[in-house]
Amino acid sequence: MLHLKRRGFDLGCIQIPEKTAMPSSSQVQQAWQNDAAIVLPQLLRNDLEKYTENIKESHILMQNVLRTCDFVPFLEQTPYVERIQQNFFIVAASPEEHDEQGIEKVYFDAFDQDEDDVVAEELWCKASWLSFHDEDASLRFRFSWGMEGYEDVSADPLKQAWAGKLCDVLFPESHIITNNATILSHLSSILSKKPSFVERIVYFNAPNGGAQFHHDVERGHAGVVFAQLSGSTFWLALAKPKLMDEIISFVTNAKNQQAIASVLPQENDQQTLKTLCHNREDLSCHMEDPDHELVEALIDRCPEFIAHLVARGHSHILQAGDVLLLPQRDLDNCVWHSVFTLGDTPGEALSFAVR
């Protein structure tokens, strides 16, 4: 049995999902085309040994950022400064006081070694908390370019490529995804072209942390590759239509009314949720609303609903070396996913969007 706890909410004990075998290429393609998450178990086992020292360095960086709430001072030290100076230079740093989850954003320009010319500007890496909860020490390091919240993955492939190279420089273990022949083969077959890995995020999910149910749809993205490098995480993942099916099935079952009342104590909220479940279009629109509290209370804070999803086969456990592919076709069919940290120590993971 697994005991799930996230951001102060005790979400109960659930059965451990069965281990999966390595899927065939046809199974991977079929899963992606059917908007289903699929695990590639222990695909990275041999690669982890190659990048052991880099993963240790990254854990030390994470601990230093947690300890000091600073980021850029550590990039100006060995081993980072030597690697950065080969193709990048630090332009500025922002304490991100406008963002309660932001710790520090560091801006870079990239230059061509041969020509000594600047080839990409406004690149950045931002260190952030994953949540506002005091007992969740989870961090993420996100790489992109331009004005945050307005950047467009399709607008400037060159800057996105250099933002990816910056991720390689600060976290060389990123090559575990980008140079993996099996991942490249699967995605090339799915996309009918060689994939690009953009909008990269390096996660450190800590105990009591993880991500609430969400999707990663963005224009120009086909999906996400998630690689567990250390530690372990528990996932719930299913396409939006199936998640809606499960919500409707759970809410309309009279046996679950007490469980729903435990997370939505107001009767009018319970009734509104029931009403939403009688109209799929209304339910779908509510799920896309930034303030989707009625559904959020159910899918993120109700132990009985989480147990329901597990019983229906929508859960996965990722150990170090495992890869999870998450199709993100569009808002109507994307794979929604929720993450829980397992164990007593933070684990490192890579989450790269696929273009």
CATH no. of 2-240+307-354: 2.60.120.10
What pLDDT was estimated at residue 152?
62
Start-to-end Cα distance in the chain: 38
Cα of 152 vs its chain's centroid, Å: 18
Cα gap 249→345, rounded to integer Å = 36
Angle (nearest 5°) at CA 320 between 317 and 323: 65
- Domain residue ranges of the chain, discontinuous segments joined by +: 2-240+307-354
Find residue 224's DSSP bridge partners. Answer: 326, 353
DSSP string, 262-327: HH--SHHHHHHHHHHTT-HHHHHHHHHSS--HHHHHHHHH-HHHHHHHHHTT-EEEEETT-EEEEE
Listed in sequence order, the DSSP H helices in the chain are 25-33, 45-50, 52-68, 72-75, 80-84, 157-170, 175-178, 181-191, 240-251, 257-263, 267-276, 280-288, 293-301, 303-311
What pLDDT was estimated at residue 150?
65
Q: Give every CB contact of residue 48 below 8 A, 6+ residues apart in sequence.
A: 55, 176, 229, 320, 321
What pLDDT was estimated at residue 315?
96
Q: How many CB atoms lie within 10 A of CB 286?
A: 18
On the 0-12 / 13-18 / 19+ scale of CB atoms within 10 A, 149 is exposed
What pLDDT was estimated at residue 240?
98
Q: How would you write the pLDDT of the chain (355 residues) with one tens digit per residue?
A: 889 999 989 998 988 888 889 999 999 999 999 999 999 999 999 999 999 999 999 999 999 999 999 999 999 999 999 999 999 999 999 988 788 888 999 999 999 877 678 999 999 999 999 988 888 899 999 999 987 766 565 678 899 999 999 999 999 999 999 999 999 999 999 999 999 999 999 999 999 999 999 999 988 889 999 999 999 999 999 999 999 999 999 999 999 999 999 999 999 999 999 999 999 999 999 999 988 999 999 999 999 999 999 999 999 999 999 999 999 999 999 999 999 999 999 999 999 999 9
What pLDDT was estimated at residue 293?
94
CA distances from 268 to 247, 281, 291, 341 (A): 18, 20, 17, 33
Q: What is the DSSP letter of 343?
A: S
What pLDDT was estimated at residue 168?
97
Map residue 42 onto helix, strand or coil.
Answer: coil
